[in-house]
Every structure is written in structure tokens, then in C-alpha cells.
Amino acid sequence: MTVSHAAAGGPPVAGLSPGKRLVLLLSRVWAWLFLAVMVLFFVVAVPIVGSATFVSIRNSQNILVAIVPIVLLGLGQTFVIISAGIDLSVGWVMSLGSVLSALAIRGSASFGAPIWLAVVIGFFAGALGASVVGTINGVIIAKLKVPAFIVTLGTSFIVRGVALLMSENTTVIGLPDIRAYGNEAMFYYVRGGGDQAGFHFLHPPPLPTDMLRQLDRILQWPVVVTAVVVAIVMFILHRTQFGRHTYAIGGNLEAARRAGIPVDRRLIAIYALSATTAGIAGFLSTLEYNGGSAVIGDPLLLSSIAAVIIGGVSLFGGAGTIIGTVIGSLIIAVLTTGLVMLSVPAFWQFIVVGVVVIVAVLIDQSRDLIVGRTSRGSES
């Protein structure tokens, strides 16, 4: 069976020239280096342009909250792209998850369920409803052999229509007040002096209105939930047979079949997982905004794919990591946040992110070219 270099611990380096070894090393760490250099640049540039400070508790937490949906969409997309596929439906599946969870929370609360139980029911409604869409995608792709691009493109239109129909083309409102689950945090920090200054756990201290701006939320609950999901999928991808099969399918589909891997079942599960993480993103957006939006995920599809590519997942399949996707998401969030703080127009933000994506693809191709040449050379 052909196993990807990523799954086997990285590309072979024996027999490579120093120049090629350097290229391979940079291809593995360039995203980390780029993120560090970018943060350093904004730390210096932002105070020069204005009075703001780039590195602060509030700004760092805003960045973490901003990457929550991108990370969740990217997690499932990581499995899909490693398996040499693509999922163009995750943005609208996120929207469907938001609508389903909002309807479930509103309905269960109207029947007298306590708020915490309504939230739990909303979570399962959003995640399981989304997983149905992913399962359908996987069945058509695996069993009917229709290209993933076509299937998920068609599904995105269908899911879009279903979400708009269920929400009656408007935001689902009338929910009980669930904003505490989406906006409160694990820790609180009160800046300045006074008896309440310092860190507080779980509950913010009572503060007068004029001191609310001195209260910083640290690790808001959507960030905590996302961190748990990241840990789970990282374990699945890097420590289980399912993860090894995902790499093998992306590395060589036919070789995986001949090795006895249940390719069809694995592909169905991969697309179901992709939709499930998108549904969780929709649920968290419902908590944050206290309502379900049928369009909340539409602009996030390309950002999630960009995060996966920047994070080093090979577009040709068979290589990539979860931590790389998280770093890619951070790069996008830090880049856009820093440019906003520098008062750079929005269209330049799109241009810069596009350039970074192209650079990531070029680095990926150079790595694959070196590994391919090495493999052919060793075989001959």
C-alpha cells in the first residue's frame, strides 16, 4: 500500500542535496515563520499609525473568536482535501446548522425546557442535521463515483434553498436569552486598579457601567468548544486507523482499495465529518447572535479553504495536519485584523490573502516535486 509521506512522518531526506533539504524544511515551517514575522510587523506598525496596541488581551481574544468558524469549517475540510476531495457545501451547511439549532432551541424552550437543555438540543439538531447532508454527499461521491466538486457544488445550492425555506428568508428569532453561552467566557480580567482588578473565574465581577470597558473576556465558550473539537479531530487524524486510511486514500485511491481499506465507507464518513464540524460552527453562531441566520456561512467557504491550503494540506491529497489548518486560520485572522488596525482598505485585505494562498500552493508544489523526484530516483 502506498502511504503518504505526511502519514509516514515526512518526506524522505536521505540522498537529498542541501538545497533541497532546505526547501523541504522551509515548506514545513514557513507558515509558523510567516505568522511570527507578521505579528512582529503589526506590533511595530500599529502603534506608529495610531494609538492602538496590537498585542493586548482584548485583541488576542477577538482574533480567537474570529477564527472559530474558519477553524471549524477547516477541520472537516482538512480531512476532505487530504483524501484528495473538496467540499464546497460547508458554508451553506453551517448556515443550515445555525437555522436548525435556532429552531430547536426556540421550540424546546416553548415546551418548557430549561435554557441549558434547549441549548443541548440545539447542538444536536445543528450537528446531526448537518451530518445528514455530509452523509448524502459521501454516498453520491463514493457509491455513484460522481466528482466531489460537482456533488458538493450542487448540494450547496440545495442546502441554501432549504435553509432559506426553513428560516422563511429571515433570521430565526424569538429564542430565550442564550447569549451567555455564546459570549461569556471561562476567565475575566479587570484592568486598572480597584478591588475588582485582576483575574476572575467563570463569572465576571459586578462593575459599574463606566468600568465595563475595563473588563476583558478570556477564552469565550465558543473558543473553548472549538479547542475541544480540534483536540478530538487531531486525535482522529493522527492517532487512529481512520486517520491513516484518510492519508492512504488521498495518497493512492486504488492502492488503498487493493490493501483492503473500506474506501467507500471511509469517504462517506469523511464527508459526514466535514458537514458535522460545519454544523457545530452554525450552532455556535446561533449562541453568539441569539438567532439563526440562513446566510451566516456563505462568506466563510473560501476563507476555510484558504486556511487549509496555507496550513500546508496538499491539494493533491495525502498530506496535511490539523495544527497546520489552525495556523492557517490564525494567519488569515491576524492578517485581516492587523490591516484593519492599520486602516488598510478592505480590497487590499483580499489581495494580500490571495497572494498568501498562491505562495502556499507554490511551496506545496515545490515540496511535492522534490519528494516525487526523490521517490522516482530511489525506485530506479
Cell 515545490, located at residue: 366
- Beta-bridged to residue 198, according to DSSP, are 190
The DSSP annotation for 96-137 comes to: HHHHHHHHHHHHHHHTT--HHHHHHHHHHHHHHHHHHHHHHH
Residue 15, pLDDT > 80, answer no
Do 143 and 272 contact (CB within 8 A), yes or no?
no
Question: For residue range 140-164, what is the model confidence (pLDDT) as tens digits?
Answer: 999 999 999 999 999 999 999 999 9
Q: How large is the average pLDDT for residues 156-177? A: 92
Do 77 and 278 contact (CB within 8 A), yes or no?
no
Q: Which residues of 122-178 form beta strands (DSSP E)?
A: none
Q: How large is the average pLDDT for residues 109-125? A: 93
* pLDDT at residue 370, rounded to an integer: 66
- Residue with more model confidence, 84 or 209: 84
The DSSP annotation for 139-168 comes to: HHHHHS---HHHHHHHHHHHHHHHHHHHTT
Q: Which three cell numbers stand for residue 166?
A: 426553513
Euclidean distance between CA atoms 366 and 299, whole angstroms: 30
Do 156 and 88 contact (CB within 8 A), yes or no?
yes
* pLDDT at residue 3, rounded to an integer: 45
Q: How large is the average pLDDT for residues 359-369? A: 75
Q: What domains appear along the chain, each with residue ranges and CATH number?
A: 18-373 (1.10.3470)
Mean pLDDT of the chain: 86
pLDDT over 70 for what percent of the chain? Answer: 90
- Residue with more model confidence, 212 or 341: 341
Euclidean distance between CA atoms 272 and 134, whole angstroms: 4
Residue 30, pLDDT > 60, answer yes
Residue 266, pLDDT > 50, answer yes
* pLDDT at residue 88, rounded to an integer: 95
* pLDDT at residue 138, rounded to an integer: 95
The one-letter amino acid code at 212 reads L
Euclidean distance between CA atoms 372 and 169, whole angstroms: 50
User: How many of the other CB atoms lie within 10 Å of CB of 213?
Assistant: 11
Would you mind telling me the total number of residues written for the chain in this entry?
380
- Kindly report each contact of residues 254-259 with a partner whose C-beta sits within 8 Å and lies 24 or more positions away, as own/partner: 255/1, 255/2, 256/1, 256/2, 258/1, 259/1
The pLDDT confidence band at residue 227, using thresholds 50, 70 and 90, is: very high
* pLDDT at residue 19, rounded to an integer: 66
Euclidean distance between CA atoms 375 and 373, whole angstroms: 5
Euclidean distance between CA atoms 312 and 379, whole angstroms: 26
Euclidean distance between CA atoms 122 and 124, whole angstroms: 6
pLDDT over 90 for what percent of the chain? Answer: 54
The pLDDT confidence band at residue 2, using thresholds 50, 70 and 90, is: very low
Euclidean distance between CA atoms 159 and 153, whole angstroms: 10
The DSSP annotation for 194-246 comes to: STT-EEEESSPPP--GGGGGGEEEEEEHHHHHHHHHHHHHHHHHHHSHHHHHH
155: Cβ–Cβ under 8 A, 6 or more apart, which residues? 88, 89, 133, 136, 137
Residue 379, pLDDT > 70, answer no
Q: How large is the average pLDDT for residues 357-364? A: 81
* pLDDT at residue 39, rounded to an integer: 92
* pLDDT at residue 139, rounded to an integer: 96
Residue 7, pLDDT > 90, answer no
Euclidean distance between CA atoms 101 and 291, whole angstroms: 9
